[in-house]
Amino acid sequence: MSTRVNVRVPRSYLFVPGNRPERFGKAFAAGADAVILDLEDAVQPDDKPSARRIVAEALATLTASAPVADDAPERAQPRVLVRINGSDTPWFADDLAALSSQVGLSGIVLPKAETREQIDAVLASAHDGLSVLPIVETARGVAQLGALCGAPRVSRIVFGTLDFQVDLGIDGDGVELHFFRSQIVLASRLAGIGAPVDGVSTTLDDPAAIEADARCGRRFGFGGKLCIHPRQVDAVHRAYAWSDSEREWAGRVLAAVEGSRGAAVALDGRMVDLPVILKARTVMEGI
């Protein structure tokens, strides 16, 4: 009997170096919704082949099989993804050959995503349940958002904020990136894919700052965030959770609507129209 996968849309994606198997267990136990075994930035060129073998062996031990129906019960284990090396590197083809058919692998995180052809290459030998998460981290990637979001089996876009700043010569990751964040959210919505994943926070020891950073992305319409250390996971989850005051407000809205018997409703001096009701339902359902 196969183990069921967690059907929650991931809020947190925790990186772990693919050449450090002694860290895999800690990453899986950190509480993140998804773990990304990293073959790209975290691994030096000379270590790429051995890291690939390590990751392939780790994936072979996983019990996940075919995709599970949406009504399947959740389990505690995170989804497992791999960030492969980019299509312009000598390791790209070997990464795909070794990993994309592994049924224990939930998704491929594709760096420097800029074209539909890159995604087609990932899917050429992929198992049926594999999703692709393109990382948009260049000017060309943003310019090709429509093609990337509309490609087969792209589940959501990842914003590679650090490399994007370098590519465009941007100094800062706050308001300097808001225009591009909005474009990614808009393109994702138009394509009908999941809300995008925001880039990493380089802060490690300030949970309030990490949470504030994640909440900023959430306000722009992002649905999750990359993490580079287990200490960041809880703060990201808090940012993507509804607060007690928001739940209390939603409960009062729905109670007022139910008690109105179809009449117009005002709460706290404001009209309760359909968008307000829909938001209240979303809060109460914990989405």
Share of the chain above pLDDT 70, in %: 89
Amino acid 274 reads L
Contact partners, residue 239, CB within 8 Å, separation at least 6: 211, 212, 213, 214, 215, 217, 218, 225
Instruction: Give the mean pLDDT of the chain.
Output: 88
pLDDT digits (tens, 9 = 90+) for 255-275: 877 777 766 777 887 877 777
Interior/surface letters 140-179, b for 16+ CB within 10 angstroms, e for the rest: ebbebbebbbebebbbbbbbbbebbbebeeeeebeeebee
pLDDT digits (tens, 9 = 90+) for 87-101: 999 999 999 999 999
pLDDT digits (tens, 9 = 90+) for 16-46: 999 999 999 999 999 999 999 999 999 999 9
pTM value is: 0.84
pLDDT digits (tens, 9 = 90+) for 47-89: 999 999 999 999 988 744 334 433 444 445 799 999 999 999 9
pLDDT, residue 150, reads 97
Beta bridge partners of 14: 35, 227
pLDDT, residue 63, reads 45
Q: What is the DSSP letter of 154?
A: B
Q: What is the fold, at CATH topology level, of the domain defined by 12-239?
A: TIM Barrel (3.20.20)
Q: What is the DSSP letter of 176?
A: G
- In three-state secondary structure terms, 226 is strand
pLDDT, residue 255, reads 83
Question: Does residue 284 or residue 228 have the better pLDDT?
Answer: 228
pLDDT, residue 224, reads 97
In which residue ranges of the chain is CATH 3.20.20.60 found? 12-239
